[in-house]
Homo-oligomer: A and B are copies of this chain.
């Protein structure tokens, strides 16, 4: 169900269990009892004041309750006199709600719905799990293999549909994307919509968000949700010619509250406070500390929260940060950061596969694939990006070609297939671990002398899998120190995406003859 359909149901005053979003329009009388599957969106629309500045003047919220538990939820003004509440129930049962407002039409409204079992394929929001890893709310492990399309929702509808089509067959289950439009090299087009009301002179009224702008982004988030892709939503960024990077503090905070009220109920959101926060010269680290606290306070779903930097790293040890979001390919330092922060680490920008006139945008496909392997072997996760220019395109940075990293479109690179192959290897740790959450995902097992190794179990007991990646080393044979027990062994060619099982089982120090080619891998699995 898309956003337009959902609004239609609301305005008709009808009541429907419409999936994936549940829209309930109440005027008078109170709506009948609805059933909302776990982790879907319950939406209530009430009519209220449309004079003055409803965004600024009208407070609207609700308390949702299940037994003795209560959850505070902010409502928002959606234009044309419509006030909305969205809520993602996280527990099955009989939920009730009561609204509060400074507007008589909007206060004291009550209602109920039943949260029923989750739909097939819905696992809830992603949370940190087992210190360095992630899982959905239902316990299903989540291994992020993300990509980057910063401004894809601000391109033409055709291009957005092409991007969604590309994502359908791509190996990515997370996407970094900006709420605000982007101004940068190769990014000179105006967005179809603007986030705030804008007068003829192009001046923005930051007190008046444009509901259609946010509804459009929500539609894209819902599209991603259908594809099983997490939206790593970037709330601020420095690449701006409209003034969104330099709003006054009150406008920043109001904007955040508006986005949180509108979007928190989408289970597939991660909050990325900024891209390259340290390049936003109008903001300080303290501003971002405050933003984190606003997000933490006003997101009833407690989505993942982090922030991305350019040169000066944010302090990821803060308790309000759920995971590291790094711009570096310094995988050697990962062990220290993991130990210091005790959180999962995303290497969210390791440069991009492509052929641009910039060092961040011209990695070979081999190097991009290698960086994914190095990240996994370091016990972390890596995000893809792609920056291919058509070689026949004129050599001019002031044009706006279609480049995946910002605009979406089609993938041209050689790394995605290899990333898909690696993702399957990593997901296999969950398949073999069964329900034991501690045995999913790879933990780095650094030793002074051997090549990097990782095992599935950080506790040192019951290791189920061990993955070696040889990088640019090419031993013709190698001694692998296996933990107690019997293991099968497979030789892996990460580039050719081939797995060759060796016959028999192996115990103790195991000397294997290898290919003698660089960039090979070896996997051991417990019998």
CB closest chain-B residue, reference A370: B472
Knowing A389-B476, A473-B364, A474-B364, the reply to whether A359 touches B395 (Cβ < 8 A) is no
CB closest chain-B residue, reference A471: B367
List residues of A (349-381) whose CB comes within 8 Å of B's CBs: 354-359, 361-364, 366-367
How close is A238's CB to chain B, nearest CB, in angstroms? Answer: 16
Chain B residues closer than 8 Å to A508, beta-carbon distance: none
Task: Name the residue in A395, A470, A474 with the highest tally of chain B Cβ atoms < 10 Å from its Cβ.
Answer: A474
Chain B residues closer than 8 Å to A517, beta-carbon distance: 364
Pairwise interchain contact A477-B357, C-beta atoms closer than 8 A: yes
Chain B residues closer than 8 Å to A355, beta-carbon distance: 474-476, 516
Report the separation of the CA atoms of residues A470 and B451 in the bound assembly, to the nearest whole angstrom: 26
Pairwise interchain contact A518-B477, C-beta atoms closer than 8 A: no
List residues of A (449-487) whose CB comes within 8 Å of B's CBs: 449-451, 470, 472-479
Does A511 interact with chain B (Cβ within 8 Å)? yes
Chain B residues closer than 8 Å to A434, beta-carbon distance: none
Task: Name the residue in A354, A389, A473 with the highest tally of chain B Cβ atoms < 10 Å from its Cβ.
Answer: A473
Does A513 interact with chain B (Cβ within 8 Å)? yes
Pairwise interchain contact A472-B357, C-beta atoms closer than 8 A: no
Does A504 interact with chain B (Cβ within 8 Å)? no
Chain B residues closer than 8 Å to A518, beta-carbon distance: 363-364, 366-367
Report the separation of the CA atoms of residues A516 and B517 in the bound assembly, to the nearest whole angstrom: 24
Does A391 interact with chain B (Cβ within 8 Å)? yes
Pairwise interchain contact A362-B395, C-beta atoms closer than 8 A: no
Chain B residues closer than 8 Å to A391, beta-carbon distance: 476, 516
Chain B residues closer than 8 Å to A363, beta-carbon distance: 472-474, 518
Pairwise interchain contact B474-A395, C-beta atoms closer than 8 A: no
CB closest chain-B residue, reference A355: B476
Q: Scoring A residues 377 to 395 as 1 if CB is less than 8 Å from chain B, else 0, what string do you get?
A: 0000000000001010001
Pairwise interchain contact B476-A366, C-beta atoms closer than 8 A: no
Knowing A359-B450, A478-B357, the reply to whether A395 touches B473 (Cβ < 8 A) is no
List residues of A (492-527) whose CB comes within 8 Å of B's CBs: 511, 513, 516-518
Chain B residues closer than 8 Å to A359, beta-carbon distance: 449-451, 473
How close is A390's CB to chain B, nearest CB, in angstroms? Answer: 9
Knowing A367-B518, A395-B513, the reply to whether A356 touches B472 (Cβ < 8 A) is no
Task: Name the residue in A359, A366, A367 with the highest tally of chain B Cβ atoms < 10 Å from its Cβ.
Answer: A359
Chain B residues closer than 8 Å to A473, beta-carbon distance: 359, 362-364
Pairwise interchain contact A449-B395, C-beta atoms closer than 8 A: no
How close is A70's CB to chain B, nearest CB, in angstroms? Answer: 52
Chain B residues closer than 8 Å to A472, beta-carbon distance: 363-364, 366-367
Chain B residues closer than 8 Å to A361, beta-carbon distance: 475
How close is A321's CB to chain B, nearest CB, in angstroms? Answer: 27
Report the separation of the CA atoms of residues A391 and B513 in the bound assembly, to the nearest whole angstrom: 9
Pairwise interchain contact B516-A449, C-beta atoms closer than 8 A: no
Report the separation of the CA atoms of residues A355 and B391 in the bound assembly, to the nearest whole angstrom: 38
Chain B residues closer than 8 Å to A395, beta-carbon distance: 477, 511, 513
Pairwise interchain contact B475-A362, C-beta atoms closer than 8 A: yes
Chain B residues closer than 8 Å to A356, beta-carbon distance: 475-476
17 example contacts (A-B, Cβ-Cβ < 8 A) are as follows A354-B474, A356-B475, A356-B476, A357-B479, A358-B449, A359-B449, A361-B475, A362-B470, A363-B472, A363-B473, A364-B517, A364-B518, A366-B472, A367-B472, A389-B476, A391-B516, A395-B477
Further pairs besides A356-B475, A359-B450: 9, Cβ < 8 Å: A354-B474, A356-B476, A359-B451, A361-B475, A364-B518, A366-B472, A395-B477, A395-B511, A395-B513
Q: Footprint of B on A, CB under 8 Å?
A: 354-359, 361-364, 366-367, 389, 391, 395, 449-451, 470, 472-479, 511, 513, 516-518
Q: Which 6 pairs of residues, A with B, have the shortest CB-CB distance? A: A355-B476, A367-B472, A364-B518, A362-B475, A362-B473, A364-B474
